[in-house]
Amino acid sequence: MRILARLSARTDAAYDNTYHNKLQGRIWQALEDSKYDALHDKNQPKPFVYSNPFPPQDMDEGDERTLLVASPEESLLAHIAEDLTHDRELNIGEMPFHVDKVSPLAPDVGEPGTSGTIETGTGLLVRIPPWRFDDYGMDVNHDQAEFWRPEHTLEPFRTQLEANLDKKHRLYMPDYLAGPSDVDGDLFDSYELIKTFAIPVTPTTGRTEEWVLSKWRFDYTVRDDDHRRHLNLALDVGLGERNSLGFGFINITDQTRPDETELEGENAFP
C-alpha cells in the first residue's frame, strides 16, 4: 500500500540530495501519539519506506514534485495522509513544499505467472556484518560492517538482501505465513547492477557519514501466492537497510500478466 502526495514548490530552491534525515523527521512527526510512535527507538526495521521528492531537480516556485510513502500497515499510512492533509506545509530542509493532494495507491507484482521488472528508486543499502566475512571469503581489514561493493560478488548481496526481507516478514506478516527463507526459489530471476555510489548521510542529527549505496534492476516471475506476498512486502517496506531514511524504495517498471504477451499493445497488430 502507498500514498501519493502531489507537491508544489513554495519558492525557488536547489535540490537537496541529503534530504533523508529531514524527510524522516516529518514522517515520525506524523506518527507522534500513534501506536507506531514507539517504533522510533526500537532497533528493528521500520514498517515504512518512501521515495525521494521526484523528479530530483532544482526547482522554481510552483514547480510540481511527487512523494510516495509505502507501508504494509494501512493505518500507518492513514496517520501520515491525515498529517499531510491537515498541515500542508512540507519543509524538507531548504526545500519548502505545499501538499496539493494526497491519494492512495496499491501496487501489486501480479498473480502467479506474472513477470516483470522492479527497479530501485533510491539507493539500496546492504552491509555485511563482520561475523560473515569468512563465510563469503572476504578479505576485509576492519571489524566494522562492510558496505557491499561489486568486488564482494553477488552472493553476499543476495543473501543479506533476502535475510533482511525475511526479518521484515517475521515482524509485519502473520506468523502462520511462510517467509522468504521458508520456501524454495529465489526472490528474483536476475540481479542487474546499474551503479554504485557514495553519498553523505546524516543517520542522526549532528553526525554525518559516507555510505556506499547501489541501484539495481531485478526481473521476477511470480511463482505462487507466497512469492507474490514476499515481492509485495518488498514494495511496501523497501529492500535492504535503513528504509526509514528512504533507502531501498522500489518500483515496478514493467509487467506482463499470464494472459498477455510482450507483443500485446501497440505492437500486437503490425
Which residue type occupies 59?
M
| Residue 148 DSSP symbol | P
* pLDDT the model gives residue 135: 92
Q: What are phi and psi of 63, to 5 degrees?
A: -60, 145
* pLDDT the model gives residue 259: 83
- Give the closest residue to 188 by CA, choosing from 167, 217, 213: 217
- Give the closest residue to 133 by CA, choosing from 142, 120, 125, 124: 142
Question: In the chain, which residues fall in CATH 3.30.70.1900?
Answer: 114-256
User: Which CATH architecture is the domain 114-256 placed in?
Assistant: 2-Layer Sandwich (3.30)
- The pLDDT tens digits for 178-197 are 999 999 999 999 999 999 99
- Write out the three cell numbers for 51: 521515495
| Residue 123 DSSP symbol | -
Which residue type occupies 164?
N
For residues 266 and 131, the answer to whether their CB atoms sit within 8 Å is: no
- Write out the three cell numbers for 75: 493505518
The fold for domain 2-105 equals Alpha-Beta Plaits (3.30.70)
**How far is Cα 189 from Cα 186, in angstroms, rounded to an integer?**
7
- Write out the three cell numbers for 150: 561489486
CA dihedral 63, 66, 67, 72 (to 10 degrees): 170
Q: What are phi and psi of 146, to 5 degrees?
A: -100, 130
* pLDDT the model gives residue 263: 52
Question: In the chain, which residues fall in CATH 3.30.70.1890?
Answer: 2-105
> String of b and e for 139-160 (b: at least 16 CB within 10 Å)?
eeeeeebbbbeeebeeebbeeb
41 is catalytic: yes
Sequence-distant contacts of 144-147: CB under 8 A, at least 24 apart? 147/211, 147/212
- What does each C-alpha distance from 96 to 13, 15, 82, 202 come to in angstroms? 8, 11, 19, 19
Beta-ladder partners of 254: 117
* pLDDT the model gives residue 51: 96
- Write out the three cell numbers for 168: 521484515
Which segments in the chain show pLDDT lower than 50? 265-270
List 41, 175, 184, 259, catalytic entry: 41
CA 65 to chain centre: 18
Give the three-class secondary structure for 102: strand
* pLDDT the model gives residue 68: 97
Beta-ladder partners of 64: 8
